[in-house]
Amino acid sequence: MELLGLHHVSILTGKAEKNYQFFTKVLGMRLVKKTVNQDNTQSYHLFYADGEGTPGTEVTFFDIPGLARTHQGASDISTVSLRVKSTDSLHFWKERFEQYGVEYEEIAKRANRDTLAFKDYEGTRLLLVADNGEKGVRAGVPWKCEDIPLEHAIIGLGPVTLTVVTPEPTVDVLTNIMGFRYAGSYPSLAGDHRDILVYATGEGGSGAEVHIETRPDLPKVRLGRGGVHHVAFRVPNEEEYNKWAARLNENSLPNSGKVERYYFKALYFREPNGILFELSTDTPGFATDEPLETMGQTLALPPFLEPKRKEIEEKLRPLDLDETL
Q: pLDDT tens per residue, the chain (325 residues)?
A: 999 999 999 999 999 999 999 999 999 999 999 999 999 999 999 999 999 999 999 999 999 999 999 999 999 999 999 999 999 999 999 999 999 999 999 999 999 999 999 999 999 999 999 999 999 999 999 999 989 999 999 999 999 999 999 999 999 999 999 999 999 999 999 989 999 999 999 999 999 999 999 999 999 999 999 999 999 999 999 999 999 999 999 999 999 999 999 999 999 999 999 999 999 999 999 999 999 999 999 999 999 999 999 999 999 999 888 765 5
* Integer Cα distance of 6 and 202 in angstroms: 10
Residue 299 located in a structural domain: yes
Q: Considering Cα of 246, then 247, then 248, then 253, what sign does the dihedral take?
A: positive
- State residue 319's pLDDT score: 87
CATH number at residue 304: 3.10.180.10
Global pTM? Answer: 0.96
Q: Could you tell me if residue 322 is inside a domain? A: no
Whether residue 325 is contained in a domain is answered as no
Task: Tell whether 213 is covered by a domain.
Answer: yes
Strand blocks (E) in 53-140 = 58-63, 76-84, 108-110, 113-119, 125-130
Q: Given the DSSP bridges, would you call strands 157-164 and 76-84 parallel, antiparallel or unpaired?
A: antiparallel
| 297 domain-assigned | yes
- Residues sharing a CB contact under 8 Å with residue 253, sequence separation 6 or more, in sequence order: 173, 177, 269
Per-residue pLDDT, 324: 53
Query: Which range marks the domain in which residue 169 is found?
Result: 5-315
Per-residue pLDDT at 306: 96
Residues 233-273 have pLDDT tens digits of 999 999 999 999 999 999 999 999 999 999 999 999 999 99
In a domain? residue 306? yes
Bridge partner list, 110: 113
**Burial state string for 62-90 with b = 16 or more CB within 10 A and e = fewer than 16:** bbbeebeebebbbbbbbbbbbbbbeeebb
Helix (H, G, I), strand (E, B) or coil at 289: coil
- Answer whether residue 135 is part of any domain: yes
> Is 264 within the bounds of a domain?
yes
Please state the domain count of the chain: 1
Query: How many whole angstroms separate alpha carbon 217 and alpha carbon 192?
Result: 11
Taking only the tens place, the pLDDT of each residue in 41-72 is 999 999 999 999 999 999 999 999 999 999 99
